[in-house]
Amino acid sequence: MAHHTALREDREELHPHGGDWLRDIVFGLNDGLVTTLVCVMAVGAVAPVQLVSIGVAELLSGGVAMALGDYLSSYTANDVPTRQIATE
């Protein structure tokens, strides 16, 4: 196995390691759709007249919450190693 590992280390990678944004979008859409659907189903039984406005408000607030959560987690993921290196 050491031979195969040595061969891989000598090669230069030809593809970038980006794409984290795509994962974030897919997870965000999945989470956002599920929470919006649950909210619309719960509110639909209680206040069917205001269902559309409540659904849009929940969709917007969920989107803002997910965007802020993603920003904070990315900031923390970048900030912690920087501070650890500075401490050493």
- Residue 2 in domain: no
pLDDT on residue 71: 82
- Residue 79 in domain: yes
Rounded distance, CA 71 to CA 24, Å? 11
- Residue 4 in domain: no
- Residue 7 in domain: no
CB 71 within 8 A of CB 79: no
Q: What is the mean pLDDT of the chain?
A: 75
User: What are the structure tokens assigned to 14, written together?
Assistant: 């030809």
Q: Which residue range(s) make up the domain with 73? A: 20-87
- Count structural domains, the chain: 1
Q: Tell me the angle at which helices 51-87 and 20-46 cross, rounded to the nearest 10 degrees.
A: 150
Pick the range with the lowest mean pLDDT from 3-12, 42-51, 53-62. 3-12
pTM above 0.75, yes or no: no
- Residue 15 in domain: no
